[in-house]
Amino acid sequence: MKINQQDPELAKFYQAELQRQRHTLEMIPSENFVSEAVLEALGGVGTNKYSEGYPGARYYGGNQYIDQIENLARDRAKQLFGVDHVNVQPYSGSPANQAAIFSVAKPGEKIIGMSLLFGGHLTHGWKINFSGVYYNAVQYQTGPDGILNYDELEKIVKAEKPKVLFCGATAYPRLFDYKRIAKIVHSVGGYFIADIAHECGLMAARVIPTPVGHADIITTTTHKSLRGPRGAMIMCNGKPAHPLKPLAEDENPRENLPTLIDRAVFPGLQGGPHNHTTTAIAVALGEALKPEFKIYAQQILNNAHALAGSLMSEGLVLATGGTDNHLMIIDLTNLGIGGKVAENALEEVGITANKNTIPFDKRKPYDPSGVRLGTPALTTRGFKEDEMKTIGQLIAKTLKNTKNETVKEEIKKSVLAMTDKYPLYPNLRYV
């Protein structure tokens, strides 16, 4: 029975959401559109099976095919990223980061990560998050130009001597020097965890540098630029022992990260994995191994550069003066509006973005001075540089006319014309 027959009220809401996605320019950099194959996997029979443990070491019977699916996902991820070991069971990015810390640090030990207000993530030590509550968390920040100063970071690390250093961000438009960061944290005996959730698709395609070979542990979500379902992975090098047996006293933890990570995920923090998500991850990884994915990833970068150039040519100010990756942050200070007003005005014309802090923001986080934009989702739909230039003009016009309903109505018509040019899931319907 289809959802519209079983639950027509819910089907109505889902159809409305589908229409919203079809007829808006999705520019939140952490969002993307999965393939219909990934959608099919997510709604598949894997959701019916319970699979505590790992392939070959389950607590439940009947997992012979689930084992093959999980092994396929792990093998594809290892091939794609060039690592020895991958755990595909974390439910999402935040639990993956929790497991990564849990694998190498005891509660109360010191961790360090980029401040949320400067582009970092909640799980890198923010004071109200588990990472800032159960661990002794120190935060680092960018310089006045919005760019990370590695000399300053080195001073902080040498003074604090953290057990774990997190590198990675949700709103940092520049690349990280992973080799330099590894040297800094390893000089004090700490572990380097690289959270690549945002850029993982770009790294998988090798269009930007990867932390593989530098970071001890790598965490990532599987949506965003990788264009998969909402799951996560933890990666590292080394050969795992039995995931459910403790290390011997004479074994070096740094040489046994695969075992420590697997034990931290299960039984440390989770029960059975979501097998339908694992299946969809395998599908997405298979797609990312194809040559056309590299073309897609490069187009994300090309589109970001074109969009940034267009916005700046319209007189808008970008944090750090541009972008090296898939995202950018507009500094709204010179426009005299806050991020909440900007986000709402853009949504009214059919452009979905999100309010965001800028470095050394003088406004409160719930109504900050910036708005964040990204190009992965529009690139998936087929948009290229010329359209991004036009979109930059539409965004600038919207932000300069937030109270002009006539102008916003004209912009909305332009947005609808652009989205109609690139149909999304044309054969999908819920009512």
Give the residue numbers annotated as catalytic, written as ranges. Answer: 50, 52, 195, 221, 224, 230
Q: Which of 235, 203, 277, 341 is nearest to 38 (CA)?
A: 277
Q: Which of 218, 232, 280, 257 is nearest to 82 (CA)?
A: 218
Q: Which residue has the tokens 């940092």?
A: 172
Q: Which of 382, 412, 375 is nearest to 397 (CA)?
A: 412
Which positions ≥6 away from 20 have C-beta within 8 Å? none
Could you tell me where the DSSP H helices lie in 143-219? 150-160, 178-186, 200-204
- The answer to whether 217 touches 191, Cβ cutoff 8 Å, is yes
Q: Are strands 164-167 and 191-195 parallel, antiparallel or unpaired?
A: parallel
Q: Are strands 110-114 and 136-140 parallel, antiparallel or unpaired?
A: parallel
Which positions ≥6 away from 336 have C-beta within 8 Å? none
Give the number of other Cβ atoms within 10 Å of residue 70's Cβ: 24
Helix or strand run (H / E) with residue 229: none
Helix or strand run (H / E) with residue 141: none
Q: What sign does the CA torsion over 407, 409, 413, 415 have?
A: positive
Q: What sign does the CA torsion over 226, 229, 235, 239 have?
A: negative
Which positions ≥6 away from 64 have C-beta within 8 Å? none
